[in-house]
Amino acid sequence: MLKKNMETALNEQLNFELYSAYLYFSMAAYFEHMGLPGFSHWMKIQTQEEINHALKFYNFINERGGRVILRQIDTPPSEWKSPLDAFENALRHEQLVTERINRLMDLAMEEKDYATQNFLQWFVDEQVEEEASVGEVVNKLRLIRNERHPLFMLDRELSQRTIAPQQKGGEK
């Protein structure tokens, strides 16, 4: 059974994962409008991953006898200065998610909640991958800046992204 403060913190993260999905969906719409379907596709895959993360929290809270409470999702930004600006924003967002996961792990350790620690370890590992994935695109965009030909080549590359198969971490 989850302690109340752990249940509250996990619910906050579940809702933040939904905001993350909303943010990336907004970025997908931005890129679609710009005529960059590969960038849009990459962000749609990211949206799906964030929804899967929210479902993991949803399932875990329920499996531990907690109650899922959904909150209002804030409106994400809808405009960025450039594709680089959007991806730098995504990287900062993933760094924030990492901080939040680390704080959840700290709480689980403080509470001696070993089941939650085990559950959160998947997210600790996932965040290393998330930051690296977004960071790789940021680095490429910094190299090409506003040059059209390399931008369209990167757009084609990003259109090849597929959603990673789900593994452990509380999904059903």
Task: For domain 4-70+81-158, give the CATH number.
Answer: 1.20.1260.10
**49: its two tokens:** 């991953």
Q: What is the pLDDT of residues 7-29, one digit of tens each?
A: 999 999 999 999 999 999 999 99
Output the pLDDT for position 166.
61
User: Is pLDDT of 168 > 50?
Assistant: no
The DSSP call for residue 165 is P
Confidence tier at 146 by pLDDT (50, 70, 90): confident
Longest dimension (CA), the chain: 55
pTM: 0.93
Segment 140-149 shows an average pLDDT of 92
Output the pLDDT for position 51.
98
Confidence tier at 164 by pLDDT (50, 70, 90): confident
Alpha carbons 9 and 44: distance in angstroms, whole number: 27
User: Is pLDDT of 167 > 80?
Assistant: no
Task: Give domain limits for the chain.
Answer: 4-70+81-158
- Convert 47-77 to b/e letters by CB count within 10 Å (16 or more is b): bebbbbbbbbbbbbbeebebebeeeeeeebe
Output the pLDDT for position 32.
98
Residue 33: partners with Cβ closer than 8 Å, 6 or more residues away: none
Q: What is the pLDDT of residues 81-110, one digit of tens each?
A: 999 999 999 999 999 999 999 999 999 999
Least confident of 60-64, 115-119, 143-147: 143-147
In 3D space, the residue among 35, 54, 49, 52 whose CA is nearest the CA of residue 159 turns out to be: 35
